[in-house]
Amino acid sequence: MLQEVLQSLPQVLIDGLTLGAVYAVVALGYTMVYGILQLINFAHGEIFMSGAFIGTAFFILIMGTSWAAGVPQIILLILVLILTASITGLVGVGMERVAYRPLRNAPRLIPLITAIGISFILQDLVRFIAELFNGNYIVTGPSLFSEQITLKTSSISSVFYDASFKSSFLIVLGTAIVLMIALDYFINKTKWGTAMRAVALDRETASLMSINVNKVISITFFIGSALGGATGVLFAVQYGTIDPYIGFILGLKAFIAAVLGGIGNIRGAMLGGMLLGLMEMFASANLSLLTGGVFGAEYKDVFAFAILILVLIFKPEGLLGKPTAEKV
């Protein structure tokens, strides 16, 4: 049994990392907004989904033009990533302006409800637009980066089988890591990043120190949503087929990843996302093997969430979170 688990391990790691990278970057959006506003922005999963649609639309548009054939795919991807991230970033800022800012001093439950409302609006808006242009809201984008690469893991040790992946895996992982490093640098090393951390620590005091709190919050939403939208593009590239409801399940899991890593903690969100992706993929590949066929792959989420509950019982603040004292 152990041997069989080991054989597929390289492949499971690769698939788990892909999924984990997507979870991680989406989790960043949740954790940033929570860190600053103590608001769980449930519409973030929908921002991710909108990004996937906007990106696919750009790809279809660009692929339809004649000059696209001569341009390397990677340039196209970077172009689409930047365009999509700017659009979803602006959508995020608009969302905050319309739905959250008027409610900033309302009880915490109220913005949570508006967030759910916004997410339904975005789902149906995207669905409407997709049906208008495509006739059906399940959209399949052009296939990019589909070269097959085989990793000769069997030559490292004979217990492993070879693993293979599409080159889009490298793109997804690479872009996600670049985004995360850039964000980490921005938060910790720049002036605006310092202002964001100050607002997260204490909003009133920060505003007394001549920090424009509204602007900082807008920037937070812009960055979080831009990252979410960019991940949407990566998701569309990796999995090809998208529909307006992908944001819900994925958003939920990314949120859980953020909690697992310690909500409000940027590096925690990255770690939590990667861990959740790996656990989920490991469970779905090996669960029926480990339980002798009693539980099949369909119970993968139960496995992943049971581990989550265990972590939270022993470390309620999350893996990298700091225990916060009650504010009096």
Partner 1 sequence: MKFKKSVGLLLSGVLSMGILAACSSDSGSSSSSTGTTPTSTEPAAEGSKVIKIATQSPLSGGSAIIGEAIKLGAQMKLEEEKAKFEELGYTLQLEPYDDQADPKKGVSNANLIGADEQIYGVIGHYNSGVAIPSSEVYEKYNIAMVSPANTAVEVTERGLKTVNRIVGRDDFQGPAGAEYAVNELGAKKIFVIQDKTAYGTGLAEAFIKAAEETGAEIVGNEGITIGEKDFNGVINQVLNKKPDLVFFGGLYAEGGIIIKQARDKGIDVPFMGGDGMDSSGLVDIAGEAVKNTYITSVAGDSTATESGKKFMEDYKAKFNKDPEGFSVYGYDSMGVFLTGLEAAITANNGELPGKDKVAEAVRAVKDYKGALTDVSFDEKGDNINAKIFLYKFEEASYPPVQVGEVSQ
Would you tell me which residues interact with partner 1 (CB under 8 A)?
Answer: 4, 7-8, 11-12, 15, 18-19, 102, 131, 136-138, 140, 143, 146, 148, 150, 161, 164, 166, 235, 239-243, 245-246, 249, 280-285, 288-289, 296-298, 300-301
Sign of the CA dihedral with 65 first, then 71, 74, and 76 last? negative
Nearer residue to partner 1 within complex by CB, 161 or 186: 161
C-beta of 142 vs 317, nearer to partner 1 = 142
Q: How many residues does the chain have?
A: 328
Nearest distance from residue 190's CB to partner 1, in Å?
33
CA 178 to chain centre: 14
Type of residue numbered 95: M
Based on CB atoms, which residue is closest to partner 1, 27 or 285? 285
Query: Shortest approach of partner 1 to residue 273 CB, angstroms?
Result: 14
CB of 301 to partner 1, least distance (A): 8
Q: Return the structure tokens found at 134.
A: 């495509």
Measured torsion, CA atoms of residues 197, 201, 205, 207, in degrees rounded to the nearest 10 = 40
Least distance to partner 1, CB of residue 241, Å = 5
**Residue spans of alpha helices (H) in the chain:** 2-37, 44-64, 73-95, 109-134, 167-189, 191-201, 203-208, 213-239, 246-261, 266-290, 300-314
Beta carbons within 8 Å of 128's beta carbon, 6+ residues apart: none
Pairing label, strands 163-166, 148-151: antiparallel
Please identify, using beta-carbon distances, which residue of 222 and 303 lies nearer to partner 1.
303
Cβ at position 69, least distance to partner 1 in Å: 19
Q: Which is nearer to partner 1, 176 or 320 (CB)?
A: 176
Backbone angles phi, psi at 140, to 5 degrees: -115, 120
